[in-house]
Structure 1
Amino acid sequence: MINFVIKLAAIALAGTAVTATAAVAQVKLPPTITMTAYDTGTSGFNITVAIGKMMKDKYGADTRVLPAGNDVARLQPLRAGRATLSAMGVGVFFAQEGLFEFATKEWGPQPLQTTLSSVDCNGLSIGVAGDVGVKAIADLKGKRIGFVVGSPALNQNALAMLAFADLAAKDVKIVEFSSNNAMWKGILNNDADAAFTSTIAGPAREVQNSPRGLVWPPLPHADKAGWERVRKVGPYFTEHTAACGAGDFKDKPVQMGTYPYPIYSVYASQPETDVYMLTKALIEGYDGYKDGAPGAAGLAVKGQTKNWAVPVHPGAVKALKEAGAWSDDQDKHNKALFKRQELLLAAWADFNKGNPPSDPAKFAEEWMKARKAALGKAGMPD
């Protein structure tokens, strides 16, 4: 009789444990979630709106999407605690590294970490007007390449693509424009020959349908030396085969590069449980938003970019492990990225203790020297 009672108690306890586990695993979101994204109408904004609708429909959480035109504006509400999640592009890497617009006294290296990111059928590369005879990246030598004033991400990405063929800014004719749309209008009007963009960008399709036409010179993945040069300029790029966008991709996929976009980012200081719940909601609610906007399908948990340039938040790691989408190799890589963030933050603190210049340009110049020295001393690439 005693044994029978003990067995019943054990069964009851086991049932309680199972119930508790199920309760822990159940997604619970705050009543209101604020997210930031690129401007209204961009793919990042549209994907984020689709996610917001899913969170409302599936979990009852009201969402706000704040549009912002640049990386600083997108991160400011997140840093101030007024937003929970930011749909970033490669700016999340620049922010982590304290580069370009983040090489200022007000910013510096940011301890940003990621949750889920999207890589879909589109690619990211240099699109070239079809009437200039370019068939390979090397053919861009001497051609007019569009740059956008105050947009280091776009310009750096164009330079990374040129580096594939061992070309630099001095080897081409840089034509500056006030905005991305103005740059592509410049290609339409024959004021420039090529520019960096996504294959699914609207302006790229407009050029494709114009008398000039549009081609995408390949970056063959077998060219290891070329890809090594790409990553020296843009270490966040990965090889990718584009199969959709402005061009005949369906029948002729093109080997080029990409990086995740949007990259749903958080700060390291955000509680692990909160980030776990957000990431789990993105994973479990995938069917509710994957068809909601072009590019959203790229957020599939099994298709996540591995071993990228910015670490994954521990809360997101927990959700990815539960989904069977995390490995020991990723864990090792992630821990190395945490160490890099710690080193950059320490270097920034030391730099500011040394009475740096007040002039913004000199401040950035001196910080870049200090950053390079700290990374070099630790044996890390700068």
Structure 2
Amino acid sequence: MNKFLMSAKVAVASAALATGLSHGVEAQEYDWPRLMVIATPGTSTGSFASTNGWGPIFQQETGTTVRIVPEDSELMRNRRLTEREDVAIASVSAAEMASQTEGVGGYASARAIPQRILWHHNDTPWGFVVAGDSEIKSLEDIGKGGVRVTEGVFSPAIVSVVTEALPGFIGLTPEEAQEQIEYVPASSYGENCRSVVEGKSDVAYCSPISSVLSEMEGAPGSIRWLPMDPANKEGWSRFLNFRGMTIPSTISMGVKTANGVDSMTSNFVYAVPVTADVDFAYNMAKWLHQSYDAYKGTHALASRMSVELFRSYLNANPIPVHEGTVKYLREIGQWSDEDDAWNSAAIKQMDAWVEARQAGMKAAMEQGIEINFENEEFLNLMAEHTKDLQPFRSRL
């Protein structure tokens, strides 16, 4: 078990007697650690705020002292979880977990250590928005040519979506898109989204939970969202070639105009190292499920931690789930033999990436090549070791 788990044999039943609580979760016979450290993104994020919502309730019900540590550096948060093991759980986007495993960017020179999903944390919906009176009724209309699409040059991720993933969904190559679509640059997120109600562009890629979308929804003519048909498997497959960890889903939060529209989400999960104790993961999953009603109102994003939403997310998730979580989900009828099949495949895929990257680093040391993500010779060596591996991408 990780160093953060300072065992004090604090029984849940004892905590219940000490606090006078009668919540059902206290009946479980598990000796919680004295201290549990959870790492999240920085203090200005919803992940930090929502974890601070359920943390105190967990502390009260179990007797465990909870420390929530904000860590803006994705690389350091990952290292503290997997290498230093001085945190128990980390809040991280599933896309970031894939990058950590595959050694993308700055992770190229980080130690390759496997992780597992403990529970679903939150999700951010995204979609393509147009003015309410726009003649564009579907994404396919964009492929007819003469359509202006906002290119948020402030964000490489948004640039990739509109110049590569979106064209892929409607059957265009990035090169064809450059010829048929007029891209309108925007220097900020607000400018990016407002462009469609200001008449500067026809289509923008935005999140319906952003405050600027409420402003746009109240503008003359309001706004509409272009649906992404979940039955369009070929289109989604091409989209995922560029945005592999996006989850096709129906928008259920944010501005009213977006609710019920088939689109996509970017999901955050709570991750644990592969070495996390099975009983610990099992009981954490059990608590997060059984105490949901007690903490769901502490923050808007805490309401995204229901077992139902987690189950829905698992239908497309490609990242391995921890054995303890699997054990609990199976007990409550939320895990099947089919889930075993894809989870086993996900474990093999993660293990293959870890083994290949570890072999690449060993070869670099033997050859005297500097292990640095900015060293092209090192990156070429790692690419050679991982060339036959498939990147993680959402299951359709």
- Out of 132, 135, 138, the residue aligned to residue 136 of structure 1 is 138
- Out of 326, 331, 338, the residue aligned to residue 317 of structure 1 is 326
Structure 2: how far apart are the matches of 1:26 and 1:54? 18
Cα distance, 1:235–1:26 mapped onto 2, change above 3 Å: farther
The question of 1:263 aligning with 2:265 is answered no
The question of 1:360 aligning with 2:382 is answered no
| Distance apart, 1:257 and its partner CA | 1.9
Structure 2: how far apart are the matches of 1:293 and 1:194? 31
The question of 1:220 aligning with 2:220 is answered no
1:7 is matched with which residue? none
| Distance apart, 1:111 and its partner CA | 0.9
| Distance apart, 1:286 and its partner CA | 1.1
Unpaired runs of 5+ in structure 1? 1-21
- Out of 350, 358, 372, the residue aligned to residue 387 of structure 2 is 372
Identity across matched positions, percent:
22
Query: Which is further off, 42-51 or 161-170?
Result: 161-170
Structure 1: how far apart are the matches of 2:79 and 2:201? 34
Structure 2: how far apart are the matches of 1:77 and 1:359? 19
Q: What aligned pairs does 1:252-291 form with structure 2 within 5 A after superposition?
A: 253-259=260-266, 261-291=267-297
**Contact 1:31–1:61 (CA<8 Å) still a contact in 2?**
yes
TM-score (normalised: structure 1): 0.76
**Contact 1:186–1:192 (CA<8 Å) still a contact in 2?**
no
> Could you give the per-residue CA deviations for residues 19-38 of structure 1, whole angstroms, max 9, x where no partner exists?
xxx99943443233222223
The question of 1:45 aligning with 2:48 is answered yes
| Distance apart, 1:262 and its partner CA | 2.6
Cα distance, 1:219–1:81 mapped onto 2, change above 3 Å: same
- Out of 231, 246, 250, the residue aligned to residue 237 of structure 1 is 246
Structure 2: how far apart are the matches of 1:135 and 1:113? 40
Aligned length: 344
2:6 is matched with which residue? none
Structure 1: how far apart are the matches of 2:100 and 2:38? 18
> Could you give the per-residue CA deviations for residues 44-78 of structure 1, whole angstroms, max 9, x where no partner exists?
22321222122123223232323344532432332
What amino acid sits opposite 2:273 in the alignment? Y
| Distance apart, 1:129 and its partner CA | 6.0
2:7 is matched with which residue? none
Cα distance, 1:127–1:169 mapped onto 2, change above 3 Å: farther
Cα distance, 1:81–1:196 mapped onto 2, change above 3 Å: farther
> Could you give the per-residue CA deviations for residues 74-124 of structure 1, whole angstroms, max 9, x where no partner exists?
32332322221111112122222222342x2134x441210111567x733
1:92 is matched with which residue? 97
> Could you give the per-residue CA deviations for residues 322-364 of structure 1, whole angstroms, max 9, x where no partner exists?
2221111111111111111111111112222333565716244
TM-score (normalised: structure 2): 0.74
Q: What aligned pairs does 1:299-310 form with structure 2 within 5 A after superposition?
A: 299-303=305-309, 304=311, 305-307=313-315, 308-310=317-319
Structure 1: how far apart are the matches of 2:33 and 2:281? 11
What amino acid sits opposite 2:262 in the alignment? Q
Structure 2: how far apart are the matches of 1:155 and 1:26? 51
Unpaired runs of 5+ in structure 2? 1-24
What amino acid sits opposite 1:373 in the alignment? D
What amino acid sits opposite 1:263 in the alignment? V
2:86 is matched with which residue? 82
Structure 2: how far apart are the matches of 1:61 and 1:94? 32
What amino acid sits opposite 2:92 in the alignment? M
Structure 2: how far apart are the matches of 1:349 and 1:63? 34
What amino acid sits opposite 1:278 in the alignment? M
Cα distance, 1:128–1:145 mapped onto 2, change above 3 Å: farther
**Contact 1:239–1:255 (CA<8 Å) still a contact in 2?**
yes
**Contact 2:150–2:186 (CA<8 Å) still a contact in 1?**
no
Cα distance, 1:204–1:41 mapped onto 2, change above 3 Å: farther
Cα distance, 1:46–1:32 mapped onto 2, change above 3 Å: same
**Contact 1:147–1:155 (CA<8 Å) still a contact in 2?**
yes
- Out of 345, 350, 356, the residue aligned to residue 359 of structure 2 is 350
Structure 2: how far apart are the matches of 1:110 and 1:133? 50
1:183 is matched with which residue? 189
| Distance apart, 1:126 and its partner CA | 3.6
The question of 1:124 aligning with 2:139 is answered no
Structure 2: how far apart are the matches of 1:207 and 1:64? 39
